[in-house]
């Protein structure tokens, strides 16, 4: 079973849940939590089991989590949604230039 809990940054208190289905729902939940004064732990968001192996440690993207429908939450402010496959293609392309 996957983790659905959203935690606070420091105390690791559960402040929300996300089912991993639609990344847009997670973004809305994060916005509401932040508006309510919560500091969301962005390093341990639910949906980690949906992150493809190619994106576990990319140096060129900030991948926060992925949903079950092929979308990825990214960006330093956790406010960008990208297609997961496009990020994988970009990472592969950038790796070719590094080698």
Full residue range of the structural domain in which residue 75 is found = 5-98
Within 8 A by CB and 6+ apart from 3, the residues are 46, 48
First vs last C-alpha separation in the chain: 38
pTM (2 decimals)?
Answer: 0.87
Q: What is the pLDDT of residues 45-83, one digit of tens each?
A: 999 999 999 888 766 788 999 999 999 999 888 889 999
Overall domain count for the chain: 1
Q: What is the pLDDT of residue 64?
A: 92
Nearest-CA neighbor of 60 among 48, 75, 45?
75
Q: What is the pLDDT of residues 33-54, one digit of tens each?
A: 999 999 999 989 999 999 999 8
């Amino acid at each position: 079973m996957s983790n659905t809990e959203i935690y606070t940054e420091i105390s690791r208190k559960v402040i929300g849940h996300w089912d991993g289905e639609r990344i847009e729902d997670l973004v809305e939940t994060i916005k509401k939590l932040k508006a309510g004064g919560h500091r969301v732990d962005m390093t341990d968001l639910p949906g980690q089991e949906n992150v493809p192996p190619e994106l576990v440690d990319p140096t060129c993207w900030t991948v926060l989590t992925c949903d079950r429908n092929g979308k990825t939450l990214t960006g330093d402010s956790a406010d960008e949604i990208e297609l997961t496959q496009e990020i994988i293609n970009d990472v592969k392309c950038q790796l070719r230039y590094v080698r």
